[in-house]
Amino acid sequence: MVKKALGRGLGALMPAESVEFQETEGLVNIEVGKIRANAHQPRKEFSQDSLRELANSIKEKGLIQPVVVVKKDGYYELVSGERRTRAAKLANLKTIPAIVRDYNERDKAEIALIENIQREDLNKIEEALAYRALMSEFELTQEQMSKKVGKSRAHIANTVRLLDLSQAAKAYLQAGKITPGHARALLTLDPVDQQEMCELIVKKDLSVRAVEREMKKWNKTQTQGAKIEELPAEIKSFQDQLEEKFSTRVKVRYAKDKGSIQIEYYSKDDLMRISDLLLEL
């Protein structure tokens, strides 16, 4: 199979910020209401405080850096500059300067993903999702990905691993309540224990080193408990199948004549998802 390539590279695809206004070809003023977001935009959250600050700056000085768009039938689609466009709307601008380019879908995906990856304020889960999307779309190794975005291979690997966190732990990370270092230390825990450890980190303001020490105690206790409550092989296999089926932690309490099955959920949406699966049985 021939692998897709990123091709010309980000520098060839995007105009340099320092020369955008010197370039006359394709530079126009576009009605803000005719600009739509890029479907490939990896950023899912925009800080309202940050947008208001940028909007105030735009009111005072105007929009210094144009956005980049492609022309569609009756509207323009953003390639880069969604944050600036949102701030311009808050500033009540009717039109903004834009560079109109003729990009194909792959070019748009590359630019939107790589531009956002290289920004410092992209949260770690969004960054991880962007890496995974690029590597999947263009069949890149972590080493190739690292060269494309100017990050180390270890950084790529450690960031993508964060996608294995539970939804609760991801929420703590995205909210800035725990650091990526904290999060990586939690990866060996099951979802419930991850949430409990997140709560402990916030409550006690634990450092990454302190969390690693707690993890050693935690894992030792869990291992000892597992020996005491070890399930018969066929019941353990059944429990594993249930966990795979429901994509969550399942605990079988087993006795000779009776017992129970506990299926855990971590949000209302998670509960509804599991309920639907149960009703299909």
Q: Of residues 23, 31, 45, 82, which has the active-site annotation?
A: 82
82 counts as catalytic: yes
CA dihedral sign of residues 65, 71, 74, 77: negative
**Residues classed as catalytic:** 82
